[in-house]
Amino acid sequence: MLKEQVSRMNFNSFLIKFVVFYNYFVLYYLIFVNGIYTFLLILSMKGVFIHGKTSEFLPYYEMLSSIFVPPVSIIVPCHNEESTIVENIYSLLSLEYSQFEIVVVNDGSTDNTLQVLIDGLNLKKIDRPYKSSISTADVRGVYISGKFENLVVIDKENGGKADALNSGVNICKYPLFTAIDADSVLEKNALLKVVVPFIKDSERVVASGGIVRIVNGSKVDRGFIEKVKLSQNSLAIFQTVEYLRAFLFGRIGFSMLNGLLIVSGAFGVFKKDIVIKVGGYTSNTIGEDMELIIKIHEYLRERKEDYRVVFVPDPVCWTQAPEDIKSLSSQRIRWHRGLMDSLFRHKKMFLNPKYGIVGMFSIPYYWIVELFGPIIEVTGYVVVILSIIFGLINWKFAIIFFLFAVVYGVFLSIGAVLLEEYNFKKYEDVKDYLKLILYSILENFGYRQMVAWWRFRAFFGYKKGKKTWGNIKRKEFTE
Amino acid sequence: MFNSFIIYMFYILCLLNVFFFIYLLFKKLIDKKKQNFKKEKREYFEEEINKYIFSEDENDFSKLDAALEMEVLEELLLEYSDIISGEGKERLLSISRQTGILGKNLELMHKRSWWKQAMGAYFIGQMEAEEGVPILLEKIDSEKEELAYIAKRSLIKISGTKYLEQIMEKEVHGSIKTKNRVMSLIDDTEEDIYSTMEKLFERENTFLSIIALESLGNRKDERVIPYIKKYIFNQEKELRISSIKAAMSIGDIGDDEYFWYLLKLETDESWEVRTFFAKLLGIFKRTESVDVLSTLLTDENWHVRFNSGESLLKQGEIGILTLSEMLLSEDKFASDRAFDIIQRETIFNNLEDRILLYGNCEKIMGNIEEFKNAKRAGVTYEF
């Protein structure tokens, strides 16, 4: 009996010690993470400022008709996109760019995507030979359009998004290619703007990415944005704030350091030869966009090449955000598993000076902040509950600390809105601005915890090498 | 101690958030007002500029003091400068002088920040303002690549070829040597560039020779032909490719000796060179081209074979006849490639109708039929 009491006391005191230790750990972790965010925010402010100023003296008009602007292949992988695919192809066909081709890859859709494409674009099947530089699932047929000479459609067996992209890389004919999600809408001049780094520094730039914004709520007419507005759906607005933060200070900051690890799968331009050299997109992964960029960094850093992976904040690709909890949770779980996949595959780069800023800063950031962040956050909440049970909580400090975290989160969000307002001014209505600020406060009370929980859940059931297409309920773009 | 630090930080962040919120809100409201004002001013200035440029109206513009008005007019002048040349451009320059906008941009060139200087340089170049030349000449040496590039571009816009050689010299020593960027600079001048390019050839520098070859080629200047002959068998692959590119731009000048000279490239060791050579042969519509292209269609390199097919198509009837014969080749790629081209041309350019007009119509159609029956039984293709 006494023995039992002693062991229970020992366990209790261990638990108490652990809870106290964990509280301090979370506190210092939060300070560390926010320190990094602030550093990135400052870098981004500089980056956005320089970008804003330099774009004032870029001769865009001349570039539109210049023969010196490199031709680009636009690869559009699609899977069960029958409702939006044709409209999106039409909008891509009217992009402002001197020379481009569109390669649509139908990755074994089980709906009517192929037939919709055949009817809508007057496709004819041809027997086209092509160089298979990257191995992919079987190609069932290549189609060209009777209406548009610069359009090719590949119909292939289902192999996942990465496999579809690789098929596109195999068949596309230009030295630069861009990968665009079928459910996205590009601004007319977006392609030209995202290619600018390749014009300015064609030797060193190997990949460039533009900003992805949430289209929900905006007025879209025939595949083009007519008026930018915030959605009426709360989940979509929360994601708008998140995207602004992720792109406007996350990616710009990393790009300034030449340590960018993600060029969004929704909109990025790559040098075809380097993508082929690294073996193309990795098929058995979920986060193929991040995986490709890490492979490029790894390959070029190992060869001590001077290169750049850049983010351009100006060219915009508009994408549909999920408006229901189910789609959003599955999207976030998928993204987090993609992140895990890429980081596990390249664990040798972690804190490895051989990989320069990528190995010493970007990869550790993604491990410590992005990958383990949700674990620390969720367990943090559990520990807070335990602290209350054990009577260990200093209520005054806990409340102040929580409010501090909220206010800091709001500060970072306002920072992103500030960057947005200074350079891009996409949301014209004052009402939209007020909503953005309101939601950047509200997200700390429920939304953020929900996202952390999904990302935490991603660790369970993670299976290396799983490849799926994300399924989000798509809406047709209508006025 | 730590608690009070967190509390202070909390208050500071609260204040910062409130400050940013109010600041942004005011900015947003002011921007809206500004936008409306700019819209009105834009309409007004547009009308005034049109009158000044296109009608007899000789009313001069007065000097502007309001920054916002200047901003609107400056934007408009830049937009007009993209689409207007000659006398109209001189009028735009005159407006920028009268209103003080040119003066403002000249002043920008003396500011400390490089991007302000670049903005000034850009405006001066777009307006083709001679008074900006001395300061632009200073800026082409700037360590800031962007500024140096804009200054070079503006200098060329204003002075044509006058400083071109000097600019090219700087490009050779620049840290970023981008061929297309340099060539787009040369493209900005409308004057005859031959004498400057000749000097670049004399430098015996690979980069400069490539620029000169392709720039003269782009202008279809036949005086480049001796240089094509000189460099087309050079040790450096890049020079051989640039020579072919120049030859492609010049086209078939009807000189047999020149053509036979070019044909020697058939056995070049580099596949990139053979690829460009295959493209080049598409321009020379001769029986010899068809013979060489038929061989190249079975080249070991995919790119060479791909381009040979396209060039055969450009040869007209004889090329299409060869392609149709290639359908029956044992080389699967050559056969598939020929079929790809024939199918595509049928869909886009009514190849079938064209074939009916050819003397070899029956032969070509027979080959296609034989191919379809023998190798593609059971598959329906559009013909």
pLDDT tens-digit readout, A154-170: 999 999 889 999 999 99
Q: Which of B10, B122, B336 sits opposite A57 (nearest CB)?
A: B122
Residues of A in contact with B7 (CB under 8 A): 400
Say yes or no: B3 contacts chain A, CB-CB below 8 A.
yes
For residue B383, the model assigns a pLDDT of 37
For residue A464, the model assigns a pLDDT of 64
Tokens of A7: 């062991």
Residues of A in contact with B333 (CB under 8 A): 129
pLDDT tens digits, residue range A373-411? 999 999 988 888 888 887 877 787 778 778 888 888 888
Residues of A in contact with B10 (CB under 8 A): 400, 403-404, 407
- Specify the amino acid at residue A150: N
**Most confident by average pLDDT, A56-60, A113-117, A460-464:** A113-117
Chain B, 206 to 235: residues with Cβ < 8 Å from chain A are 218
Distance separating alpha carbons of residues A108 and A285, to the nearest angstrom: 18
Higher local confidence (pLDDT), B62 or B123: B123
Span of A293-297, A300-304, B24-28, B123-127 with lowest mean pLDDT: B24-28
Interface ipTM > 0.95: no
Span of A6-10, A266-270, A363-367, B258-262 with lowest mean pLDDT: A6-10
Distance separating alpha carbons of residues A419 and B212, to the nearest angstrom: 44
- The answer, yes or no, to whether residue A476 has pLDDT greater than 60, is no
Distance from chain centroid for Cα B41: 35
Higher local confidence (pLDDT), A125 or A360: A360
- The answer, yes or no, to whether residue B145 has pLDDT greater than 60, is yes
Tokens of A356: 């320069």
Tokens of B10: 């909390």
pLDDT mean over B227-256? 92
Distance separating alpha carbons of residues A247 and A417, to the nearest angstrom: 11
CB A48 within 8 A of CB A313: yes
Q: Which of B28, B184, B337 sits opposite A430 (nearest CB)?
A: B28
Residues of A in contact with B82 (CB under 8 A): 59, 61-62
For residue B214, the model assigns a pLDDT of 93
Chain A, 134 to 153: residues with Cβ < 8 Å from chain B are 144, 146, 149
For residue B329, the model assigns a pLDDT of 80
Determine, for residues A57 and B119 on separate chains, whether the beta-carbon distance falls below 8 Å: yes
Q: Which of B7, B303, B344 sits opposite A400 (nearest CB)?
A: B7
Sheet holding A123-126, edge to edge: A123-126, A139-145, A151-156, A100-107, A72-78, A176-180, A267-271, A205-214, A308-319, A184-186
Q: Which of A23, A57, A130, A437 to mutate to test the interface with B (most CBs of B within 10 A)?
A: A57
Say yes or no: B178 contacts chain A, CB-CB below 8 A.
yes
Chain A, 300 to 329: residues with Cβ < 8 Å from chain B are none
Q: Which of A408, A430, A433 sits opposite B13 (nearest CB)?
A: A408
pLDDT tens digits, residue range A296-333? 999 999 999 999 999 998 888 998 899 999 999 999 99
Write down the pTM of the prediction.
Answer: 0.83
Share of chain B above pLDDT 70, in %: 95
Tokens of B354: 């064209």
Q: Which long-range contacts (CB under 8 A, 24 or more apart) does A440-446 make?
A: A440/A241, A440/A409, A440/A410, A440/A413, A440/A414, A441/A406, A441/A410, A442/A238, A443/A238, A443/A241, A443/A242, A443/A409, A443/A413, A444/A405, A444/A406, A444/A409, A444/A410, A445/A406
pLDDT tens digits, residue range A335-381? 999 999 999 999 999 999 999 999 999 999 999 999 999 999 999 88
- The answer, yes or no, to whether residue A106 has pLDDT greater than 70, is yes
- Residue A186, SS3? strand
Say yes or no: B11 contacts chain A, CB-CB below 8 A.
no
Determine, for residues A127 and B27 on separate chains, whether the beta-carbon distance falls below 8 Å: no
- Residue A213, SS3? strand
Distance separating alpha carbons of residues B50 and B218, to the nearest angstrom: 34
Say yes or no: A31 contacts chain B, CB-CB below 8 A.
no
Say yes or no: A24 contacts chain B, CB-CB below 8 A.
no
User: What DSSP state is assigned to residue B130?
Assistant: G
Determine, for residues A201 and B176 on separate chains, whether the beta-carbon distance falls below 8 Å: yes
Determine, for residues A407 and B187 on separate chains, whether the beta-carbon distance falls below 8 Å: no
Chain A, 415 to 434: residues with Cβ < 8 Å from chain B are 415, 417-418, 421, 425, 428, 430, 433-434
pLDDT mean over A240-261? 90
CB A104 within 8 A of CB A85: yes
- The answer, yes or no, to whether residue A267 has pLDDT greater than 50, is yes
For residue B87, the model assigns a pLDDT of 85
Question: How many H-runs (helices) and E-runs (strands) does chain B carry?
Answer: 21, 0
Determine, for residues A203 and B27 on separate chains, whether the beta-carbon distance falls below 8 Å: no
Chain A, 187 to 226: residues with Cβ < 8 Å from chain B are 199-204
Q: How confident is the model at residue A427 (pLDDT cuts 50, 70, 90)?
A: confident
Tokens of A37: 């965010």
Q: Which of B1, B2, B10 to mutate to test the interface with A (most CBs of A within 10 A)?
A: B10
DSSP string, A391-426: T---HHHHHHHHHHHHHHHHHHHHHHHHHHHHHT--
pLDDT mean over A257-270? 88
Identify each DSSP E strand in A272-414 by its residue range: 308-319
Question: Going by C-beta distance under 8 Å and a sequence separation of 6 or more, which residues neighbour residue A279?
Answer: A134, A295
- The answer, yes or no, to whether residue B6 has pLDDT greater than 80, is no
Determine, for residues A57 and B187 on separate chains, whether the beta-carbon distance falls below 8 Å: no
Residue contacts between A and B (CB atoms, under 8 Å): 128
Give alpha helix (H) positions in B264-360: 271-281, 287-296, 302-314, 317-326, 332-349, 351-357
CB A315 within 8 A of CB A190: yes
For residue A468, the model assigns a pLDDT of 60
pLDDT tens digits, residue range B250-287? 999 888 888 998 998 988 999 999 999 999 999 998 88
Q: Which of A131, A149, A404 sits opposite B9 (nearest CB)?
A: A404
For residue B340, the model assigns a pLDDT of 85
pLDDT mean over A234-244? 93
Determine, for residues A433 and B25 on separate chains, whether the beta-carbon distance falls below 8 Å: yes
Q: Which of B210, B347, B350 to mutate to test the interface with A (most CBs of A within 10 A)?
A: B347
